Amino acid sequence: MDDAAVDCLVCHDQTGKYAGSKGECGYTDGSVDLLKVAQSVAKPTRSNCGSCHWYGGGGNNVKHGDMDAALADPSREHDVHMGGMDFQCQDCHTTENHKIAGRSTTSSVSEGPVACTDCHDSRPHDKSSAMLSKLNDHTDAVSCEACHIPEYAKDAPTTTLWDWSQSGREDKVLENNGKKKRILSKKKGLLIREKNLTPEYEWYNGTHKRYLKGDPINREAGTQINPPQGDIHDPEARITPYKIMKGVEPADPVNGHLIVPKLFGDGGYFETYDWVDAAEKGMAAAGLDFSGEVVFVETIMHWRLNHQVAPKEEAFSCLDCHGCDKVMDFRALGYEGDPADVGGRSAGRQ
């Protein structure tokens, strides 16, 4: 990355007043007192990191599900590391020469791995306790986060469905019961936002595939945007918690790929609400063929959960996974049944 293109003040301002001007490609808002901002610079805090990461997707906790504004000053129950021990982001996302360790779920960006075992033993439970010692055997197949993030979107709701086919209609709240909100947005379509959610679980070996523009769609099973890689046969994979976000997005039924629409400005969709026109302009700019037809297809996006780690006394117990109301679908994960009955992952390797 060109250092001259980096705005240092986004990460180092401590006034909380530094901001860009909307629609001005990152140029500073004219109302900002730049002298005061420059005199405030210091090592980044959680709020500096959160000014981007908490609000991705257009609002607080919209994207990730486990990263929200409550992390500025969280309780121990909200996040045991940031609330219970006052961790800053850099305590886990260690930094050297401005390269920040971390591995993106949705893009190929990676400047170094971050793992629970950077601080914790790979078999961390008390060996003198028979039950806790048994948990150590789980670490060969189960990630730490799978047990220690039993719930996400604890404070702010997160988007679980984004249906673009419903856009262009009048803004309206369809449902709001405190835990689930269904709204119609003229710009964005039907949005479902939920809180206090139990994760979904997938095998993850440290890599994701990504849908790239022009890739084929799957109209029957839904198009995977960034599926995690690994399965029960992969010794590097662990069962990992995810937020799943379903989408309904425009696609070209003739060429069989998702459409890159022009949304903003200059006759974009947010001005015309004409999908065919927006597709023609956007696909020409993207260098993709467009047949002139638009349909809407289901997409599936995975957001890996790493934050909002619960205190150990609130982690899942044995019965949460192996009881009647188990949170995991073991057959979907490749087991013949509950591994407490049929054996661990080695029993599933044929």
Instruction: Please give the angle made by the CA atoms of 178, 183 and 186, to the nearest 5 degrees.
Output: 155
pLDDT digits (tens, 9 = 90+) for 304-343: 999 999 999 999 999 999 998 999 999 999 999 999 999 9
CA 49 and chain centroid, separation: 15
pLDDT in tens, 10-31: 899 999 888 877 766 677 888 8
Given a cut of 70, the residues of the chain with pLDDT beneath it are 1-3, 23-25, 347-350
pTM over 0.95: no
Q: Where are the alpha helices (DSSP H) in the chain?
A: 8-12, 34-38, 46-53, 89-92, 130-138, 144-148, 269-272, 275-286, 318-322, 339-342
Give the separation between CA 79 and CA 252, rounded to whole angstroms: 43
